[in-house]
A and B are shown apart, each in its own frame.
Chain A
Amino acid sequence: AQSVTQLDSQVPVFEEAPVELRCNYSSSVSVYLFWYVQYPNQGLQLLLKYLSGSTLVKGINGFEAEFNKSQTSFHLRKPSVHISDTAEYFCAVSRGKLIFGQGTTLQVKP
């Protein structure tokens, strides 16, 4: 069975600092991995996804993620965060339906 673990429930960070949100997955087959962002009282918006090819994936709003097969990880990074990045971030693996992690709350402080 496939599962996703987000290692941090909350990540506080100061504005303009770099950030990494960690995600590990378990799967016995090829994986397709996603990061979604959820702003308060809104649905989920796709940040980026990995299907195949280059292990470094670039997404919207300056985010990127690196697929690491040996460590079964798909960590999300941004070199300099803004207040507007404050939101809930979800890592997910696709089996047609999406299997989500528990989410990480990114709190950007001024």
Chain B
Amino acid sequence: GAGVSQSPRYKVAKRGQDVALRCDPISGHVSLFWYQQALGQGPEFLTYFQNEAQLDKSGLPSDRFFAERPEGSVSTLKIQRTQQEDSAVYLCASSSTPGERGETQYFGPGTRLLVL
């Protein structure tokens, strides 16, 4: 079946622009995670949804970052007034159960954001 998809795959933004990154999880998956991967680093957690509820947003680096999953399927990560330090790969992952420890997360290919 189809895996996790993300769009766009690449995004170039001028500093100060707003961007929106989309994630389509595996159909029926309850949990959805967003991670940020800076160049040469491991992914870092941003936020977690269980269905449409955002249960953990402790990793969002500032109030410029906002995520939503209004119908419990597709999710959008929005970054307002982008800064150069926002340049990174943004990874989305989904899993079939409600955020249980040990559950496998399936990752999308990521969106590479470059802020000039």
Interface size on B, residues (CB 8 A): 26
The answer to whether residues A90 and B42 also contact, given A43-B4, A44-B107, A97-B33 and a CB cut-off of 8 A, is yes
Interface band, chain A? 20 to 34
Q: How far is the CA of A96 from the CA of B98 in the complex (A)?
A: 9
- What's the least CB distance linking B47 to chain A, in Å? 9
Which A residues are CB-close (under 8 A) to B105? 46, 98
In the assembled complex, A94 has its CB within 8 A of some CB on chain B? yes
In the assembled complex, A32 has its CB within 8 A of some CB on chain B? yes
Contact of B91 with A43 in the complex, beta carbons under 8 Å: yes
Contact of B107 with A96 in the complex, beta carbons under 8 Å: no
- What's the least CB distance linking A40 to chain B, in Å? 11
Whose C-beta in chain A lies nearest to the C-beta of B56?
Answer: A97
Per-residue interface assignment for chain B, residues 87 to 103, with 1 indicating a CB less than 8 Å from any chain A CB and 0 otherwise: 00001010000011111
Query: Among residues 27 to 53 in chain B, which have CB atoms less than 8 Å away from a CB atom of chain A?
Result: 33, 35, 40-45, 48
In the assembled complex, B25 has its CB within 8 A of some CB on chain A? no
Contact of A96 with B99 in the complex, beta carbons under 8 Å: yes
Most-contacted residue by chain B among A51, A95, A100, A101 (CB, 10 A): A100
Q: How far is the CA of A102 from the CA of B44 in the complex (A)?
A: 10
A residues with a Cβ closer than 8 A to B are 4, 32, 34, 36, 41-46, 49, 51, 90, 92, 94-103
A-B contact pairs, 21 of them (CB 8 A): A32-B102, A42-B109, A43-B4, A43-B91, A44-B93, A46-B104, A49-B102, A49-B104, A51-B102, A94-B102, A94-B103, A95-B101, A96-B48, A96-B103, A97-B45, A97-B59, A98-B33, A98-B45, A100-B44, A103-B40, A103-B42
